[in-house]
Amino acid sequence: MNAIKESHFQFPGQTAVYNGKVRDVYTIKDDHLIIVASDRISAFDHILPRPIPFKGQVLNQLAAQFLKATEDIVQNWLIDTPDPSVAVGHKCEPFKVEMVIRGYLAGHAAREYKKGERILCGVALPEGLKENDRLPSPIITPATKAEEGHDEDISREEIIAQGIVSEADYLLLEKYTRELFQRGTEIAAERGLILVDSKYEFGKKNGEIYLIDEIHTPDSSRYFYAEGYDDRQANDEKQKQLSKEFVREWLIENGFQGLEGQTIPEMPDAFVESVSERYIELYQHITGKQFLKADISNIEERIEKNVTHFLEQING
């Protein structure tokens, strides 16, 4: 199946390009960003060899929907989505931290807790928790935004002391993070899902804070199915979830955790297809809408045509 592994566009007015783990970011006249959501998939801070068909479209359309559903909380960077896999928005100067918020002891937090850690990013965790338990209240566990390699846990106190973010701005980021997570939790609950944890990224433009990047997608958030959650916890069973965690689990089973000297295993066709289906399943489950697969017979040509037409329109 066709998928966007990488892109090499030259859009009108283009002044720069940056290739992230999943997104290819094109700067237009140093004022707007065109973000192509590729079908690359990353885990343990490594890009896996095989792209996942329709993954970029799922993430792009989910993110756009959630950005529109939260713009009353904080303004965001998005202007429009001229193509199923493309978003266009304001160029902002990103804060060098990711705001991670957790409502449950899962993923990285659960792994640290299992090692005996009881302080995570300066936040104390109670004794007696087991993996996937609900926390007494959501906790914010920020991470530094690494250009390369692993993002690192950091506390609120360290962020402010090191001048990474001013205290006034950081308090606003915390406020927005909690309100966004609450809204995401409510939307998920309406669809029979639990929003377990999420990350948000923010930036500034003309002195104002904007929410940037994607939100509440399976790449930036973790979801459990609400039905059966309590029974599974009581019986010490794994939670049924919609997130990237099952990809991480497959990698661990196949001897890869992103550690030095380890080789990334290649996903077989059947597993690639199942990952694609899981992404589509999440889209349909959380939106209540049928996922309409875009024409992928010539993805590059489709994107170039749609984006160029959009730029012509906004440039008059």
pLDDT at 162: 95
Tokens found for residue 118: 């009881």
Q: In angstroms, rounded to a whole number, what is the distance separating the alpha carbons of residues 54 and 71?
A: 26
pLDDT at 7: 93
Query: What's the gap between Cα 259 and its chain centre?
Result: 22
- Considering the four listed CATH numbers 3.30.1490.20, 3.40.50.300, 3.30.200.20, 3.40.50.1220, the one that applies to the domain covering 14-93+247-314 is 3.30.200.20
Is 126 within 8 Å of 139 (Cβ atoms)? no
Who wins on pLDDT, 281 or 89? 89
Q: In angstroms, rounded to a whole number, what is the distance separating the alpha carbons of residues 101 and 50?
A: 29
Q: What is the mean pLDDT of residues 73-91?
A: 97
pLDDT at 150: 62
What percentage of the chain carries pLDDT values higher than 70?
A: 98
* One-letter amino acid for residue 280 of the chain: I
Q: Report the CATH superfamily, name and number, of domain 95-208+217-242.
A: ATP-grasp fold, B domain (3.30.470.20)
- Which candidate, 72, 67, 20, 10, places its Cα nearest to that of 214? 67
Is 143 within 8 Å of 165 (Cβ atoms)? no
How far apart, in Å, do the first and last CA atoms of the chain sit?
37
The domain spans of the chain are 14-93+247-314, 95-208+217-242
pLDDT tens, residue by residue, 248-287? 889 999 999 999 999 999 999 999 999 999 889 889 988 8
pLDDT at 297: 92
Query: What's the gap between Cα 13 and its chain centre?
Result: 28
SS3 annotation, the chain:
CCCCCCCCCCCCCEEEEEECCCEEEEEECCCEEEEEECCCCEECCEECCCCCCCHHHHHHHHHHHHHHHCCCCCCECEEEEEECCEEEEECCEECCEEEEEEEECCHHHHHHHHCCCCEECCEECCCCCCCCCEEEEEEECCEECCCCCCCEECCHHHHHHCCCCCHHHHHHHHHHHHHHHHHHHHHHHHCCEEEEEEEEEEEEECCEEEEECCCCCCCCEEEEECCCHHHHHHCCCCCCEECCHHHHHHHHHCCCCCCCCCCCCCCCHHHHHHHHHHHHHHHHHHHCCCCCCCCCCCHHHHHHHHHHHHHHHHCC
pLDDT tens, residue by residue, 184-241? 999 999 999 999 999 999 999 999 999 998 999 887 899 999 999 999 999 999 998 8
Q: Going by C-beta distance under 8 Å and a sequence separation of 6 or more, which residues neighbour residue 222?
A: 106, 107, 195, 196, 197, 198, 241, 243, 244, 245
Q: In angstroms, rounded to a whole number, what is the distance separating the alpha carbons of residues 264 and 246?
A: 16
Q: In angstroms, rounded to a whole number, what is the distance separating the alpha carbons of residues 108 and 124?
A: 15
Is 141 within 8 Å of 121 (Cβ atoms)? yes
Is 11 within 8 Å of 307 (Cβ atoms)? yes
pLDDT at 244: 78
- Which candidate, 140, 134, 37, places its Cα nearest to that of 83? 37
Q: In angstroms, rounded to a whole number, what is the distance separating the alpha carbons of residues 198 and 179?
A: 12
State pTM to two decimals.
Answer: 0.88
